[in-house]
């Protein structure tokens, strides 16, 4: 089969974390609100109303552009992007055209074990459109309603150059992008709730020297659907070319249920939108000292933090990657290390038990009741063999739900712990005395008999001993008894 060269560019919209909309005082917390309750003449586009720029939105967009290493332009201009759609009452969207917030940036991330750089073409701000509703909310059958609550919500759009060459790279880029906008507090990046949306331009070419015809894929609502949609679209284009056909430049929608992309319409070119500067909004000068101030508020970004975790704590690239993807998890990890500087041990607990509990409860670490102090207390007790790993896992589960210190939880659950090795030694001896047959079996070479004895001790301690310690104590007793 002939080789094909895949080229992908991504356009991502993120809802900016502002309290009010981009050009009016309406609130932005539209999720769960009755349709058309967060609207006013400005965001409804009633003639005669005047937009007033939300400076916070511009500041967050500049912060995003800086995180993506863009040059910040000295002046931003708002353009009208004209098109008709029922969810756009004004008949145009206020966006940016030739004077966006930032240009010529880049982002780096790990993908399939190597570090990759993707160039960022531009970062700009724009307002969101409303939403069509096709069912529910008392709508009669075969009719649609329109909800304008989302109209005018500020978005930042991050556009890459066509530097991505596989669905895997696209997914890893998106994971990094989401992590970054969350780190800097620009967006919650929640794709399922629509606060992060991704469109892809995909082309396939038989030659590395020229690009194929670009197809835009829309309507992907999760990281998984981006991955599946890109896979599907690449294979579809390859098939068209192999059969001697031509790929048509168009927009295609991803159909999640059917697992395929479907032709939606011919692709518009920029000239179709008749961009022109919004006469109601003056250009905004961006002062270098303001940019500097914003730059100072940037935290250590996920990639830098990941690389620091690798060198400072000797973690592997993938361990550091998981720990630094969410800022709160990385902060929690480092708070633990301030109290107990054993990165390897804390990392193991974080990556297994802590993440497992968060997944099972479907919460993030800030919503759970666990604190770095209580986790460290627990790890220390296991480390000193004061409680077994099994008991520790039980206690940890309880910590996530109801909080509290290890000893409080043990008292509440009626768990005692075996502090002294002397006590365990006594129990181990007792198990040996009570089970002469197993001892004889073990001494005649039956490994299994040792497991039986370990089980007996665990039973006598109600599972509160560390099995490894029990094993070594039993071995000591058995060899001294020979």
Strand order across the 79-82 sheet: 92-95, 79-82, 276-277
| Comparison of 51 and 102: residue with beta carbon closer to Zn ion | 51
| Comparison of 42 and 350: residue with beta carbon closer to Zn ion | 42
Piece of the chain touching Zn ion by CB under 5 A; list 22-30, 141-149, 214-222, 242-250: 22-30
CA distance 114 to 317: 10
Piece of the chain touching Zn ion by CB under 5 A; list 2-10, 37-45, 153-161, 362-370: 37-45
Task: Give me 434's structure tokens.
Answer: 């009570």
Coil, strand or helix: which one is 199?
A: strand
| Comparison of 43 and 286: residue with beta carbon closer to Zn ion | 43
Rule CB under 5 A: is residue 40 a binding residue for Zn ion?
yes
| Comparison of 150 and 228: residue with beta carbon closer to Zn ion | 150
Least Å distance, CB 152 to Zn ion, is 6
Rule CB under 5 A: is residue 53 a binding residue for Zn ion?
no
Least Å distance, CB 79 to Zn ion, is 20
Least Å distance, CB 16 to Zn ion, is 15
Piece of the chain touching Zn ion by CB under 5 A; list 19-27, 140-148, 215-223, 225-233: 19-27
Piece of the chain touching Zn ion by CB under 5 A; list 16-24, 50-58, 260-268, 454-462: 16-24
What DSSP element (H or E) covers 252? strand 250-255
CA distance 160 to 466: 53
Task: Give me 315's structure tokens.
Answer: 């973690």
The answer to whether residues 7 and 169 touch, using CB atoms and an 8 Å cutoff, is: no
| Comparison of 93 and 201: residue with beta carbon closer to Zn ion | 93
Coil, strand or helix: which one is 371?
A: coil
Least Å distance, CB 3 to Zn ion, is 52
Query: DSSP characters for 69-116?
Result: TPEEPSEE--EEEE---TT-TTSEEEE-SSS-SEEEEEEEEEETTEEE
How many Cβ atoms sit within 10 Å of the Cβ of residue 373?
Answer: 13
| Comparison of 31 and 401: residue with beta carbon closer to Zn ion | 31
Distance of alpha carbon 301 from the chain centroid:
14
Which residue of 8, 14, 22, 26 would you call a contact of Zn ion, by CB under 5 A?
Answer: 26
Beta strand 276-277 with 79-82 is antiparallel
With tokens 């970054």, the residue in question is 180
DSSP tag of 128? -
Rule CB under 5 A: is residue 151 a binding residue for Zn ion?
no
First vs last Cα of the chain: how many Å apart? 70
| Comparison of 43 and 156: residue with beta carbon closer to Zn ion | 43
Which residue of 12, 14, 17, 24 would you call a contact of Zn ion, by CB under 5 A?
Answer: 24
Piece of the chain touching Zn ion by CB under 5 A; list 32-40, 97-105, 233-241, 387-395: 32-40
CA distance 299 to 467: 44
| Comparison of 42 and 234: residue with beta carbon closer to Zn ion | 42
Which residue of 6, 8, 17, 43 would you call a contact of Zn ion, by CB under 5 A?
Answer: 43
Piece of the chain touching Zn ion by CB under 5 A; list 41-49, 114-122, 241-249, 474-482: 41-49
- Interface ranges with Zn ion (CB under 5 A): 24, 26, 40, 42-43
């Amino acid at each position: 089969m002939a080789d094909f060269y895949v080229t992908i560019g991504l356009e991502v919209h993120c809802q900016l974390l502002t309290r009010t909309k981009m050009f009016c005082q309406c609130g932005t917390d539209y999720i769960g609100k009755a349709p058309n309750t967060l609207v006013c003449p400005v965001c409804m586009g009633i003639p005669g109303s005047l937009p007033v720029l939300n400076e916070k939105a511009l500041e967050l967009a500049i912060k995003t552009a800086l995180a993506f290493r863009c040059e910040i332009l000295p002046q931003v201009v708002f353009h009208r992007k004209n098109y008709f759609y029922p969810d756009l009452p004004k008949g145009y969207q206020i966006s940016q055209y030739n004077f966006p917030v930032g240009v010529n940036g880049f982002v780096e991330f790990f993908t399939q074990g190597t570090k990759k750089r993707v160039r960022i073409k531009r970062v700009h701000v724009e307002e969101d459109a409303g939403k069509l509703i096709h069912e529910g909310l008392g709508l009669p059958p075969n009719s649609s309603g329109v909800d304008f609550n989302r109209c005018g919500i500020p978005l930042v759009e991050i556009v890459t150059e066509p530097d991505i060459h596989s669905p895997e790279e696209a997914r890893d880029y998106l994971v990094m992008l989401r992590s970054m906008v969350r780190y800097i507090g620009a967006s919650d990046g929640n794709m399922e709730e629509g606060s992060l949306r991704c469109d892809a331009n995909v082309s396939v070419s038989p030659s590395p020297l020229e690009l194929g015809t670009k197809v835009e894929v829309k309507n992907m609502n999760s990281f998984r659907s981006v991955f599946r949609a890109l896979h599907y679209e690449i294979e579809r284009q390859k098939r068209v070319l192999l059969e001697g056909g031509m790929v048509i430049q168009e927009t295609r929608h991803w159909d999640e249920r059917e697992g395929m992309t479907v032709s939606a319409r011919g692709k518009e070119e920029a000239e179709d939108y008749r961009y022109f500067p919004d006469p109601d909004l003056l250009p905004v000068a961006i002062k270098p000292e303001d940019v500097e101030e914003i730059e100072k508020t940037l935290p250590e970004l996920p990639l830098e933090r990941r690389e620091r975790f690798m060198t400072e704590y000797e973690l592997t690239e993938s361990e550091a990657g998981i720990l630094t993807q969410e800022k709160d998890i990385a902060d929690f990890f480092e708070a633990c290390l301030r109290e107990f500087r054993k990165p390897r041990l804390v990392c193991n607990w974080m990556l297994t038990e802590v993440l497992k509990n968060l997944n099972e409860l479907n919460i993030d670490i800030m919503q759970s009741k666990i604190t770095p102090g209580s986790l460290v207390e627990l790890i220390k007790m296991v480390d000193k063999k004061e409680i077994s790993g099994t008991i520790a896992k039980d206690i940890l589960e309880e910590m996530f739900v109801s909080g509290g210190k290890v000893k409080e939880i043990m008292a509440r659950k009626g768990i005692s712990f075996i502090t002294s090795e002397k006590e365990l030694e006594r129990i181990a001896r007792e198990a040996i005395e009570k089970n002469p047959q197993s001892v004889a079996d073990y001494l005649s070479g039956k490994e299994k008999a040792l497991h039986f004895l370990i089980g007996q001790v665990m039973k006598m301690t109600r599972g509160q001993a560390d099995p490894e310690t029990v094993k070594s104590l039993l071995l000591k007793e058995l060899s001294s008894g020979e």
